[in-house]
């Protein structure tokens, strides 16, 4: 049987560098600059053979097209990206949350430059119901929209709850969680997502106040409680019910991309907790459909 390794790009970089764990307190600069540079230095100094693969399959590729990441992938693939065997899968329209449009275009051009490269576009939605897919196209700015939505209509409409103050949003979140749990869903069926960091989100502040019904997404071994975290952290995952909180901006590429990612995590139930000041903007988007 062929040897297959599955994991994150950063995990493979850490293996190359001989790191069991990341140093305490590291931030984005470590992951985007320091670690890739250390891994490249190791490969160039010791030779890449023991860390190379005959084929690469890369998911969430829209987040991995930065120059240092591509240099690393080029070295760990037999034949390099120009002549090796690889398949990159990504949503390059609405899910590129870590690269701006210019950097994304440069990365794609670099990737497509070598060898015989086939580029296929998939526009069938396999995860969401038709009602959620329609909302994605409106609030998430997906244009053109999906060619097909493969799931049947489950007759469950999304809900939008509006708040003005922090306290109003806190009460809405508690009411929403009670309603979803009373409908027969389990805690593991629900996720609360925010564009804000955990300590700034309404769910994070509730959890900090010892609200035991919520637990951080990053606490992988925790038992019980509805998980909460950032939209970024839940990208690529899904849940039967998604509650999007702290929605205070919906215009522009950044906010629309976050809404797109957040909305498309939902399989059935979707609740948006949205600041009341956005009402006119939402109506304008709906009228332009």
pLDDT tens digits for range 75-106: 999 999 988 999 999 887 766 666 677 777 88
Q: Are residues 224 and 166 in the same domain?
A: yes
The structural domain count of the chain equals 2
CATH value at residue 160: 3.40.50.300
Which of 112, 137, 172 represents a domain boundary (last residue)?
Answer: 112
pLDDT tens digits for range 190-236: 999 999 999 999 999 998 887 878 999 876 555 678 999 999 989 88
Global pTM reads: 0.80
Task: Return mean pLDDT, the chain.
Answer: 88
Q: Are residues 141 and 250 in the same domain?
A: yes
Q: Which pair of structure tokens corresponds to residue 34?
A: 């320091």
Q: Are residues 141 and 102 in the same domain?
A: no
Backbone phi and psi for residue 247, each to the nearest 5 degrees, phi listed first: -80, 105
Q: Are residues 107 and 200 in the same domain?
A: no
For residues 256 and 248, what is the distance between their CA atoms, to the nearest angstrom? 11
Residue by residue, DSSP assigns 182-241 as HTT--GGGEEEEESS-GGGSHHHHHHHTT-TTEEETT-TT--SSEEEEETGGGTT--EEE
Percent of the chain topping pLDDT 70: 93
Angle (nearest 5°) at CA 201 between 197 and 207: 110
- Residue 257 domain-assigned? yes
Q: Are residues 213 and 78 in the same domain?
A: no
Which of 45, 77, 112 represents a domain boundary (last residue)?
Answer: 112
Q: Which pair of structure tokens corresponds to residue 188?
A: 């593991």
What confidence score (pLDDT) does residue 1 get?
45
- Residue 4 domain-assigned? no
Q: Are residues 105 and 186 in the same domain?
A: no
| Domain membership of residue 245 as a residue range | 124-287
Q: Which pair of structure tokens corresponds to residue 17?
A: 């560098």
- Residue 3 domain-assigned? no
Contacts of 14 (CB under 8 A, 6+ apart): 20, 21, 22, 35, 39
């Amino acid at each position: 049987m062929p040897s297959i390794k599955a994991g994150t790009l950063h995990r493979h970089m850490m293996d190359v560098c001989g790191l069991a764990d990341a140093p305490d307190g590291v931030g984005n600069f470590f992951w985007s600059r320091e670690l890739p540079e250390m891994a490249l230095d190791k490969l160039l100094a010791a030779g890449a053979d023991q860390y190379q693969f005959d084929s690469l399959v890369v998911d969430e590729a829209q987040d991995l097209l930065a120059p240092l990441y591509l240099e690393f992938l080029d070295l760990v693939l037999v034949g390099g990206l120009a002549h090796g065997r690889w398949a990159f899968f990504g949503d390059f329209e609405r899910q590129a949350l870590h690269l701006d449009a210019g950097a994304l275009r440069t990365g794609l051009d670099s990737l497509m430059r070598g060898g015989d490269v086939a580029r296929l576009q998939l526009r069938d939605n396999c995860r969401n119901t038709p009602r959620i897919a329609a909302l994605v196209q409106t609030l998430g700015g997906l244009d053109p929209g999906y060619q097909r939505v493969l799931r049947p209509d489950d007759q469950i409409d999304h809900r939008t709850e509006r708040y003005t103050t922090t306290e109003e949003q806190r009460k809405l979140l508690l009411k929403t969680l009670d309603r979803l749990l009373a409908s027969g869903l389990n805690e593991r069926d629900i996720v609360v997502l925010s564009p804000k960091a955990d300590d700034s989100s309404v769910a994070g502040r509730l959890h900090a106040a010892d609200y035991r019904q919520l637990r951080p997404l990053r606490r992988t071994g925790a038992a019980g409680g509805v998980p909460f975290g950032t939209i970024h952290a839940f990208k690529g995952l899904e849940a039967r019910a998604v509650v999007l909180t702290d929605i205070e901006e919906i215009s522009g590429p950044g906010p629309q991309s976050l809404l797109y990612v957040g909305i498309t995590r939902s399989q059935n139930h979707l609740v948006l907790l949205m600041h009341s000041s956005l009402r006119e903007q939402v109506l304008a988007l709906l009228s332009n459909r």
